[in-house]
Amino acid sequence: MIAHRMSKIDSSGIRKVFDLAQKMRNPVNLSIGQPDFDVPEEIKAEAIKAIKDGANKYTVTQGIGELRDGLLKRLRNQRGVNAEDILITSGVSGALTLAFQTLIDPEDEVLIPDPAFVSYKHLANFCSGKPVFIDTYPDFQLTAARIQPCLTKKSKILIMNSPANPTGSMCTSRDTKDIADLAKKHDLLVISDEIYHDFDYHHEFESIGRYYEKTLVLDGFSKSFAATGWRMGYAAGPAHIIREMIKLQQYTFVCAPAPAQYAIAKSLDTDLSKYIASYKKKRDLMYDGLKDNFRIIKPGGAFYFFPQVPWGNDEEFVASAIKNNLLIIPGSVFSERHTHFRISYAASEETINRGIDILNSLTQR
């Protein structure tokens, strides 16, 4: 009874850990990829006002003009991205789903960094594409030199995610430009997932869309506004691609949540720097606490670490952590390897310190 395409995707390993967390009593939770602060009060007030003012019906499929215009202006002014058109989506996950279904034909090759966010691989498989993994170990840097050997005549799409989930790594300006040149030479479409761009601790972020017009920029407000449950994202890029994604959204998501669209349109200039700045301190706290006992790369952005397990494989080490009331994610959820695990430092300093103590206690088997 179940369609064959469903056999090409697995239940998310992250969701399995989330489900497990519901059954544990007061776990030390370093697994959740969402900010530990709440939506700022002034943004909540705009959402409440929108609901009370009657913004509770469908919007146009592509999203309200005020929000679309505001985002296109911000992309131009802040990232140098001159996108031809934009679509408001139900989160970046909604944007990814629409983009992959719009762009991928059977056997099209999708170039994906390894490790990378879980959805890329499974959505490519679901659309009958072929994931091709770019090995970025041990430093997790995506470079043109690492992409080049993976290219074939069937290469169609390159996925970029900087700052990255699960590693926090960021493309340097030089690497971004080199990748843009390589993509242009091979006529690749770049899908640039920029959901963590605000979590950039050394002001190094650059969008490849600044250098390469055949880029589809995906972004949203789940991380920067801590609005994971609002499901607000967008896709911006070539008009002919956005047009087809809008057509598909008509028959799937219909439109992004209306009250959230109006609230965020009024809130684009909200200063969130004080919230985000605290994450640099949390990053340093966790790095200093683990660096002596783990092989660990200090990330430049996002809010994750991706350390190497000190013994066994990732699933064995994570199982031991869970037995000690610590929730972390096996690295193989994000990678073809079983050698690392993901930690989120989107947590209180108290929780981070408790997690550091447990992890260090687990280094000796």
Task: Write down the pLDDT at residue 211.
Answer: 97
Dist. CA 151–CA 110, nearest whole Å: 10
Q: What is the DSSP string of 325-350?
A: TEE-EEGGGTSS-SSBEEEE--S-HH
Question: Are the CB atoms for 205 and 170 separated by under 8 Å?
Answer: yes
Domain 4-38+272-361 CATH assignment equals 3.40.50.12280 = no
Vertex 278: Cα angle to 267 and 266 (nearest 5): 0
- What is the rounded average pLDDT of the residues 347-357? 96
Dist. CA 4–CA 106, nearest whole Å: 14
Task: Write down the pLDDT at residue 14.
Answer: 57
Residues in the chain: 365
Task: Write down the pLDDT at residue 200.
Answer: 94
Q: Which two tokens stand for residue 174?
A: 């030089």
Write out pLDDT tens, residues 213-271: 999 999 999 998 888 999 999 999 999 999 999 999 999 999 999 999 999 999 999 98
Task: Write down the pLDDT at residue 272.
Answer: 86
Dist. CA 63–CA 71, nearest whole Å: 11
Task: Write down the pLDDT at residue 45.
Answer: 96
Q: Which residues pair with 191 in a beta bridge?
A: 159, 216
Question: Are the CB atoms for 150 and 112 separated by under 8 Å?
Answer: no
Dist. CA 169–CA 301, nearest whole Å: 6
Task: Write down the pLDDT at residue 340.
Answer: 98
Does the pLDDT at position 285 exceed 60? yes
Q: Which two tokens stand for residue 246?
A: 């809008």
Task: Write down the pLDDT at residue 276.
Answer: 85
73: closest CA among 176, 205, 81, 267?
Answer: 81
Task: Write down the pLDDT at residue 360.
Answer: 97
Task: Write down the pLDDT at residue 17.
Answer: 61
Write out pLDDT tens, residues 71-128: 999 999 999 999 999 999 999 999 999 999 999 999 999 999 999 999 999 999 999 9
Question: Are the CB atoms for 335 and 114 separated by under 8 Å?
Answer: yes
Residue type for position 322: I
- What is the rounded average pLDDT of the residues 288-292? 97
Dist. CA 166–CA 296, nearest whole Å: 13
338: closest CA among 358, 320, 311, 365?
Answer: 311
Domain 41-265 CATH assignment equals 2.40.50.140 = no
Per domain, the residue ranges of the chain are 4-38+272-361, 41-265
**Alpha carbon of residue 285 to chain centroid:** 23
Q: Which two tokens stand for residue 187?
A: 């006529």
Average pLDDT, the chain: 94
Question: Are the CB atoms for 235 and 91 separated by under 8 Å?
Answer: no
Task: Write down the pLDDT at residue 280.
Answer: 94
> What percentage of the chain exceeds 90 in pLDDT?
85
Instruction: Name which residue leads in pLDDT, 1 or 244.
Output: 244
E strands present in 23-62: 28-29
Q: Which two tokens stand for residue 203?
A: 């002001």
- Whole-angstrom distance between the N-terminal and C-terminal Cα of the chain? 46
Instruction: Name which residue leads in pLDDT, 275 or 52.
Output: 52
Task: Write down the pLDDT at residue 291.
Answer: 97
Question: Are the CB atoms for 283 and 298 separated by under 8 Å?
Answer: yes
Does the pLDDT at position 34 exceed 90? no
**Rounded to 10 degrees, what is the CA torsion of 282, 284, 289, 295?**
120
Dist. CA 232–CA 224, nearest whole Å: 11
